[in-house]
Protein backbone atom coordinates (compact mmCIF):
# COMPACT_ATOMS: atom_id res chain seq x y z
CA UNK A 1 0.00 0.00 0.00
CA UNK A 2 2.87 2.39 0.65
CA UNK A 3 4.29 1.70 -2.80
CA UNK A 4 1.52 3.56 -4.64
CA UNK A 5 3.55 6.73 -5.04
CA UNK A 6 1.04 8.95 -3.27
CA UNK A 7 2.64 12.32 -2.85
CA UNK A 8 1.51 15.88 -2.31
CA UNK A 9 0.44 17.66 -5.48
CA UNK A 10 0.90 21.43 -5.68
CA UNK A 11 -0.99 23.41 -8.31
CA UNK A 12 0.53 26.81 -9.11
CA UNK A 13 -1.10 29.56 -11.20
CA UNK A 14 -4.38 27.67 -11.54
CA UNK A 15 -7.69 29.38 -12.27
CA UNK A 16 -11.06 27.72 -11.74
CA UNK A 17 -13.94 29.60 -13.30
CA UNK A 18 -17.15 30.13 -11.34
CA UNK A 19 -19.19 27.98 -13.76
CA UNK A 20 -16.76 25.05 -13.26
CA UNK A 21 -17.69 24.81 -9.58
CA UNK A 22 -20.40 22.17 -9.34
CA UNK A 23 -21.04 22.26 -5.61
CA UNK A 24 -20.81 24.80 -2.84
CA UNK A 25 -21.46 24.09 0.79
CA UNK A 26 -21.53 25.98 4.02
CA UNK A 27 -18.53 25.25 6.22
CA UNK A 28 -19.44 22.77 8.95
CA UNK A 29 -22.57 21.48 7.21
CA UNK A 30 -22.73 17.92 5.98
CA UNK A 31 -23.80 18.05 2.30
CA UNK A 32 -26.21 15.41 1.02
CA UNK A 33 -23.74 14.73 -1.80
CA UNK A 34 -21.44 13.09 0.75
CA UNK A 35 -24.01 10.32 1.22
CA UNK A 36 -23.35 9.31 -2.39
CA UNK A 37 -19.58 9.54 -1.96
CA UNK A 38 -19.61 7.51 1.27
CA UNK A 39 -21.88 4.82 -0.14
CA UNK A 40 -19.80 4.36 -3.27
CA UNK A 41 -16.30 4.89 -1.88
CA UNK A 42 -16.25 3.23 1.54
CA UNK A 43 -16.66 -0.38 0.32
CA UNK A 44 -13.77 0.25 -2.08
CA UNK A 45 -11.62 1.91 0.58
CA UNK A 46 -12.16 -0.95 3.03
CA UNK A 47 -11.49 -3.74 0.52
CA UNK A 48 -7.66 -3.64 0.81
CA UNK A 49 -7.88 -3.80 4.60
CA UNK A 50 -10.18 -6.81 4.37
CA UNK A 51 -7.61 -8.38 2.03
CA UNK A 52 -4.86 -7.70 4.57
CA UNK A 53 -6.92 -9.37 7.30
CA UNK A 54 -7.66 -12.37 5.07
CA UNK A 55 -3.95 -12.73 4.25
CA UNK A 56 -3.06 -12.52 7.95
CA UNK A 57 -5.55 -15.32 8.72
CA UNK A 58 -4.16 -17.46 5.88
CA UNK A 59 -0.53 -16.99 6.95
CA UNK A 60 -1.30 -17.67 10.59
CA UNK A 61 -3.24 -20.80 9.78
CA UNK A 62 -0.48 -22.10 7.50
CA UNK A 63 2.20 -21.48 10.13
CA UNK A 64 0.06 -23.01 12.87
CA UNK A 65 -0.64 -26.17 10.84
CA UNK A 66 3.08 -26.58 10.11
CA UNK A 67 4.05 -26.62 13.79
CA UNK A 68 4.65 -29.96 15.43
CA UNK A 69 3.47 -28.73 18.80
CA UNK A 70 1.19 -25.82 19.54
CA UNK A 71 0.58 -23.86 22.73
CA UNK A 72 -2.82 -24.70 24.20
CA UNK A 73 -4.14 -21.19 23.65
CA UNK A 74 -3.35 -21.20 19.92
CA UNK A 75 -6.63 -22.86 18.99
CA UNK A 76 -8.50 -20.22 20.99
CA UNK A 77 -6.59 -17.47 19.19
CA UNK A 78 -7.31 -19.05 15.80
CA UNK A 79 -11.00 -19.07 16.71
CA UNK A 80 -10.81 -15.39 17.65
CA UNK A 81 -9.08 -14.58 14.37
CA UNK A 82 -11.71 -16.47 12.41
CA UNK A 83 -14.56 -14.72 14.22
CA UNK A 84 -13.18 -11.22 13.73
CA UNK A 85 -12.39 -11.92 10.07
CA UNK A 86 -15.89 -13.30 9.52
CA UNK A 87 -17.36 -10.18 11.11
CA UNK A 88 -15.31 -7.97 8.78
CA UNK A 89 -16.33 -10.02 5.73
CA UNK A 90 -20.04 -9.98 6.59
CA UNK A 91 -20.06 -6.23 7.26
CA UNK A 92 -18.09 -5.49 4.10
CA UNK A 93 -20.53 -7.59 2.10
CA UNK A 94 -23.34 -5.60 3.70
CA UNK A 95 -21.66 -2.35 2.59
CA UNK A 96 -21.59 -3.65 -0.97
CA UNK A 97 -25.26 -4.62 -0.73
CA UNK A 98 -26.18 -1.15 0.53
CA UNK A 99 -24.39 0.35 -2.50
CA UNK A 100 -26.65 -1.98 -4.53
CA UNK A 101 -24.65 -1.74 -7.75
CA UNK A 102 -25.01 2.07 -7.50
CA UNK A 103 -28.82 1.85 -7.34
CA UNK A 104 -29.52 3.53 -3.99
CA UNK A 105 -31.07 6.67 -2.54
CA UNK A 106 -28.64 9.28 -1.20
CA UNK A 107 -30.30 9.52 2.20
CA UNK A 108 -28.50 10.75 5.28
CA UNK A 109 -29.27 7.43 6.98
CA UNK A 110 -27.41 5.60 4.21
CA UNK A 111 -24.28 7.67 4.84
CA UNK A 112 -24.55 7.03 8.57
CA UNK A 113 -24.98 3.29 7.99
CA UNK A 114 -21.93 3.17 5.73
CA UNK A 115 -19.79 5.11 8.19
CA UNK A 116 -20.79 2.81 11.06
CA UNK A 117 -19.99 -0.27 9.00
CA UNK A 118 -16.68 1.23 7.91
CA UNK A 119 -15.69 1.66 11.56
CA UNK A 120 -16.80 -1.85 12.43
CA UNK A 121 -14.97 -3.39 9.45
CA UNK A 122 -11.84 -1.40 10.34
CA UNK A 123 -11.97 -2.60 13.95
CA UNK A 124 -12.60 -6.22 12.97
CA UNK A 125 -9.75 -6.19 10.42
CA UNK A 126 -7.40 -4.62 12.96
CA UNK A 127 -8.37 -7.22 15.57
CA UNK A 128 -7.79 -10.00 13.04
CA UNK A 129 -4.24 -8.84 12.30
CA UNK A 130 -3.47 -8.14 15.97
CA UNK A 131 -4.60 -11.65 16.95
CA UNK A 132 -2.56 -13.11 14.10
CA UNK A 133 0.49 -11.31 15.50
CA UNK A 134 -0.31 -12.61 18.99
CA UNK A 135 -0.66 -16.15 17.67
CA UNK A 136 2.64 -16.03 15.81
CA UNK A 137 4.45 -14.51 18.78
CA UNK A 138 7.61 -12.42 18.80
CA UNK A 139 8.78 -13.57 15.38
CA UNK A 140 5.83 -11.71 13.86
CA UNK A 141 7.78 -8.45 14.34
CA UNK A 142 10.62 -9.55 12.06
CA UNK A 143 10.50 -8.08 8.57
CA UNK A 144 11.19 -11.49 7.06
CA UNK A 145 7.84 -12.64 8.44
CA UNK A 146 5.07 -11.21 6.24
CA UNK A 147 2.77 -10.49 9.17
CA UNK A 148 4.99 -7.55 10.14
CA UNK A 149 4.18 -5.76 6.86
CA UNK A 150 0.50 -6.61 7.12
CA UNK A 151 0.46 -5.20 10.65
CA UNK A 152 2.09 -1.94 9.50
CA UNK A 153 -0.28 -1.61 6.53
CA UNK A 154 -3.30 -2.13 8.78
CA UNK A 155 -2.36 0.89 10.89
CA UNK A 156 -3.60 3.25 8.17
CA UNK A 157 -7.20 2.04 8.43
CA UNK A 158 -8.00 4.42 11.28
CA UNK A 159 -7.24 7.53 9.26
CA UNK A 160 -9.97 7.17 6.65
CA UNK A 161 -13.08 9.29 6.84
CA UNK A 162 -14.27 9.48 9.63
CA UNK A 163 -11.91 8.13 12.30
CA UNK A 164 -13.80 6.07 14.88
CA UNK A 165 -14.56 8.78 17.45
CA UNK A 166 -15.62 11.28 14.77
CA UNK A 167 -17.88 8.64 13.22
CA UNK A 168 -19.44 7.87 16.59
CA UNK A 169 -20.03 11.58 17.25
CA UNK A 170 -21.52 12.06 13.77
CA UNK A 171 -23.79 9.04 14.24
CA UNK A 172 -24.86 10.22 17.69
CA UNK A 173 -25.75 13.65 16.31
CA UNK A 174 -27.79 11.99 13.55
CA UNK A 175 -29.63 9.80 16.04
CA UNK A 176 -30.59 12.82 18.14
CA UNK A 177 -32.28 14.62 15.20
Tell me the average pLDDT of the chain.
91
The string of pLDDT tens digits covering residues 83-137 is 999 999 999 999 999 999 999 988 999 999 999 999 999 999 999 999 999 998 8
The CA distance from 156 to 49, in Å, is 9
pTM to 2 decimal places: 0.85
Amino acid sequence: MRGTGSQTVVLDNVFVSEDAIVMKRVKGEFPMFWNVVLTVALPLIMAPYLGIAEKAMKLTLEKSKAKQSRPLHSTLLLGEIYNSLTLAQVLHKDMIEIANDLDFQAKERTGVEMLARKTLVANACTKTVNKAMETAGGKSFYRMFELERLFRDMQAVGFHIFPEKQQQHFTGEFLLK
